[in-house]
Amino acid sequence: MIKPKALRKGDTIGIVSPASPIEQKQKNSFENGIHMLENLGYNIKLGDNALKSNGYLAGNDEERACDLMKMFEDKNVNAIICSRGGYGSERLFKYLDFEKISKNPKIFAGYSNISFLLNIFTQHCGFITFHSPMIINFVDSSYNTNNFINTVSLYQTNFVLGAKSDNTSLNNSSSKAVGELIGGNLTTIIGTIGTDYEINTENCILFLEEVGEKAYAIDRMLTFLKSTGKLSKCKGFILGDFTDCPDSLGRSVNDVLNDIILSLGKPVILSFKCGHGPIKTTLPFGSNVEIDSQTGIVSVLEPVISL
């Protein structure tokens, strides 16, 4: 797996909107996020179409894909951070040149619907990507910003991801697992199944998070994912935030996770601080990690950037 070059002060960060547009209520957060990165010493290059709006999409598919390709091919751009998620990344694959992207690996960061691109670039283009805060999130928490910058800037041969998680509600007999970290938003992952770009979970540690879905919908998606064999192929699981995911007739999301994930008898990390909640720990997709369900610790076993 190729490790992108570390981000240094004075480097240029490209900003793109591959999915939904920046809404009026998000403009202050977007502008403040840019100012924060500039104050930290980075140059900003805004995609030509990054501020466009076409209903629930940030411009048409070709415009959004063009911005992404230009940032990968621009030798002066050292990292690419998405403005926000929403919906639309999965509409871009036919407009992207994966051979060119593979030849220009660099830090690529985002989460939510951007999970589609994270997994493609890792599994089809062969370089580590970063499930991380986006431009509109950098003002939410100093932890989000510092954790992201440290992950993509510091050369670390072995480090712990985020804080220890509370695993008390999952009494899993299986303790440790090692595998390639992959995953992201559950709805987005489900949307790849049956396509040329469906997620490959074999021998992986699968991270999952979700927002705004009821417990029965989480059940439906996980049951489908289980029926495809994707869950049984995993070495273990990291379960992040399931934000604003209400009970369904007295059955909670935790009930669903215990029923479907725990029944597989694999190591599980529960309530990891990552996803649509306020704390967004940066996850290096494509890196080898170890999870310990007894201690709640996730360790990255290799450098995730190159010098």
pLDDT at 162: 81
pLDDT at 170: 52
Instruction: Let me know if 209 is a catalytic residue.
Output: yes
The answer to whether 121 and 108 have CB atoms below 8 angstroms apart is yes
The catalytically annotated residue of 271, 276, 290, 293 is 276
The catalytically annotated residue of 63, 90, 180, 209 is 209
Question: H-helix or E-strand containing 130?
Answer: strand 129-131
Token pair listed for 145: 């910003």
Instruction: Let me know if 90 is a catalytic residue.
Output: no
Q: How far is CA 306 from CA 38, 65, 176, 286, 302, in A?
A: 23, 27, 27, 14, 11
Please write the tens of the pLDDT for every residue from 153-163: 999 999 999 87
pLDDT at 166: 66
The catalytically annotated residue of 112, 115, 132, 293 is 112
In order of their start, the domains of the chain are 12-153 (3.40.50.10740), 159-300 (3.50.30.60)
Three-class SS of 245-295: CCCECCECHHHHHHHHCHHHCCCEECCCCCCCCCCCCCEEECCEEEEECCC
What's the pTM? 0.95
Question: H-helix or E-strand containing 30?
Answer: helix 27-39
Please write the tens of the pLDDT for every residue from 42-78: 999 999 999 999 999 999 999 999 999 999 999 999 9
pLDDT along the chain (307 residues), means of 10: 97 98 95 95 97 96 97 98 96 95 98 97 97 92 92 95 66 79 98 93 97 98 97 96 96 95 92 93 98 92 97
127 φ, ψ (degrees, to nearest 5):
-130, 155
Instruction: Let me know if 124 is a catalytic residue.
Output: no
